[in-house]
Amino acid sequence: MSKTKAMIIGSGNIGTDLMIKIRDTSDVLDIAAVVGIDPDSQGLAMARDSGIATTHEGIDGTQKLDVWNDVQIVFDATSAAAHAYHDEVCRAAGKQMIDLTPAAIGPYCVPVVNMSEHLDEPNVNLVTCGGQATIPMVHAVRRVSESLPFAEIVASVSSRSAGPGTRANIDEFTQTTARGIEIVGGAEHGKAIIILNPAEPPMIMRDTVYTLSIGASEEDIVASVNEIIAEVQRYVPGYRLKQDVQFELFGIDRELNIPGYGPTAGLKTSIFLEVEGAGHFLPKYSGNLDIMTSAALGTGERIAELKHGVAA
């Protein structure tokens, strides 16, 4: 059975890594075109060398390509600001979009949590790198709890792995990640922080997840966390706990004051993660970028398998 034709908008680090992942590892997707705006970009050069159609005229140039009509899935690896127009063009052409920017036009999708719910959506949003790394852990705690009043994440990444697109989208990153913690992770109130660390040698992505839950045991949380980690490792092998899950109990005589929420009794859980990239194109310390391209690949393959009838 033939593969589903896909196109990548964005020939920077993320788009190029995704291209290599699909080209070298996917049994169900075929990269038909790569789109950029810089004719001299490394990503477009690599695509041309691989026999993939390219254009440096952005989304408007794609309709001049012979493969445009064959493309069914479009990955957007540009910016939140650019995505709105890309979405408009692709919707009009009946193409399904997987959005790697923080634009959040479509519903949030975290593969291990809710991917099956959104396979028919014209546009699915992969939240952010911090969201892809931490929302599975928020979900792991929420699913074994009666309620989850609060969850906060801190994503620390190497400044070397934060390109101009990431830096331009810092506000969107924190806002979109916080909403994803609530909508997908299940927290009543979510907060997100990103830290760009200039350390040399570059640090591997580190993520800290704090939750305050009600009605869950420490044993159930640890078991749920380990189960979700194993599921994420199926598409991001470098995703792992950095140390044991930590707990602190707050009773009614010593409630935790949550800004914007108020004093609350419950079980505080601290989860410490490390995300190492696969090294397909990006350095292994760029786990923040690798988890996005890996999630995009997994989502695209699932759509191809279930919606377009492509067998792996």
Which active-site residues does the annotation give?
Answer: 129
Structure tokens at 24: 């070298």
Using left for φ > 0, alpha for ψ between -120 and 50, and beta otherwise, residue 132 falls in alpha
The strand pair at 205-214 and 147-158 is best described as antiparallel
Query: Rounded to 5 degrees, what are φ and ψ at 254?
Result: -150, 70
Nearest to 305 by CA among 99, 19, 28, 21: 28
19, 6 in Cβ contact below 8 A? no
Neighbouring CB atoms inside 10 A of 27's CB total 12
Distances (CA, A) of 115 to 99, 112, 191, 254, 295: 13, 7, 22, 39, 10
Question: What is the rounded distance in angstroms from the CA atom of residue 236 to the CA atom of residue 254?
Answer: 39
72, 46 in Cβ contact below 8 A? no
Residue 157 pairs with which residues in a beta bridge? Answer: 196
Nearest to 250 by CA among 235, 232, 262, 268: 268
